[in-house]
Amino acid sequence: MARLKPKRLSSEDRRAQVLDAAQSLFAKQGFSATTLDEIAARIGLSRPRVIQLFGSKKDIYQNIAETAYRTHPLDKDLAEPILRGDDFGVFYTFAYHILRHTANRKDREIFKILMVARLREDNFHRVHFHKQDTLMISRLTDYVSSRVKQGVFKKIDPRTIIFAYQAMISNLAVYKNVMKKMDFLSIEELSQDCACIFLEGIISERSRGSLRTRK
């Protein structure tokens, strides 16, 4: 019987392999410490072939960053609660999105790459990941700013509110999905609790009676 030859992968399939390997390595050891040779060896390709597919290590990183935000469109999820002025819905959706999208390994790798970029990498990597981050933060800040002006939220700098909430949820994502310390709550329950706790701290006295704290 004739031996079947293994099917050759298309360039797109090879690119997907490279991105998958690079993402795992970047998450484990950071961009700077990862070499093209390591990425190539992980999937049995040569360094020249990887360069042929992507051009450079920075191009690989850029593709990972763009894919991360394209496949997790938080802006789309937030559009409806923002439009209807649903404060609980906005903060619940923000928390739920981050907690849900760090519940599997691949998304946790993106999360780790982002954390490393914020803390250790050079300006290119911080700026590239933060380009989309900034758009999201800007939209949320505009929403919070409007609620402060309306007297719904306390007179606190809107940027402080958003960054504080982002830090809170990011840390809880580690406890919940990486360290497995919060299995007593579902992601939905934790998202509701986070939104409730945080809103209790920023809602103005005059609006307190109208605060919705559950879905």
Query: What phi, psi does 56 have (nearest 5°)?
Result: -160, 170
* pLDDT band with cut points at 50, 70 and 90 for residue 160: very high
CATH number of 11-57: 1.10.10.60
Residue 6 has pLDDT above 80, yes or no: no
Q: Which fold has domain 72-210?
A: Tetracycline Repressor; domain 2 (1.10.357)
Q: Are the beta carbons of 169 and 194 closer than 8 angstroms? A: yes
Q: How many CA atoms lie within 13 A of 46 on its CB side?
A: 3
pTM for this entry: 0.73
pLDDT digits (tens, 9 = 90+) for 35-78: 999 999 999 999 999 999 999 998 998 888 777 766 666 778 88
What is the secondary structure of 140-156 as a DSSP string? HHHHHHHHHHTTSB-S-
CA 191 from centre of chain: 15
- What is the Cα–Cα distance from 191 to 139, expressed in whole angstroms? 20
Burial of 165 (0-12, 13-18, 19+ CB in 10 A): buried
Average pLDDT (124-140) is: 67
Average pLDDT (147-170) is: 95
What is the secondary structure of 168-202 as a DSSP string? HHHHHHIIIIIS---TTS-HHHHHHHHHHHHHHHH
Question: Any idea which of 39-53, 131-145, 185-199 has the lowest mean pLDDT?
Answer: 131-145
Residue 8 has pLDDT above 90, yes or no: no
Its sign, for the CA torsion 62, 13, 69, 30, is negative
| Residue 214 CB partners (closer than 8 Å, separation 6+) | 88, 192, 196
For the chain, the domains span 11-57, 72-210
